[in-house]
Amino acid sequence: MKRTSPAATSVFVYGTLLSGEPNHHLLRGARLVGPARTRPCFTLYDYGPFPALASKGQHTVAGEVYEVDAPMLAALDRLEGHPRFYQRSPITLDGGARVEAYLFPKARLAGCPTIESGCWRLHLQERESW
């Protein structure tokens, strides 16, 4: 059984960092824990080229969890503009695991469409067919 490094941070990704998506290369070398879903207390928004996850919603959001080391976490923070653009925060997933996720301030999402499915990949497929 592979042990978790004490310096590893579990991060929930739900958009452009997902496997096969444009920013996934930043997770090269990270350990994939597996697919995951949030508890039904978030909302996923379409922010144009990427999604935005906000707390205090009513949806379950689909994603993946990766274990990252400190340099990789710093690279993710830079990509996500933490803490000025996205804010990395601890969340609890469906099943009880505690992970870090990049949340977007809900006040800056006025007028953005919600992604009712809670799945960025499904939303991209639907958006392509519009």
Please tell me whether residue 25 adopts helix, strand or coil conformation: helix
Instruction: Classify residue 114 by burial, with Cβ atoms within 10 Å: 0-12, 13-18, 19+.
Output: middle
Instruction: Please identify which of the residues 64, 67, 80, 100 carries the catalytic annotation.
Output: 80
Question: Among residues 48, 51, 47, 100, which one has the least CA distance to residue 76?
Answer: 100
Active site residue 67: no
Q: How far apart are CA 101 and CA 42, in angstroms?
A: 12
107: left (phi over 0), alpha (psi -120 to 50) or beta: alpha
Catalytic site residues?
80
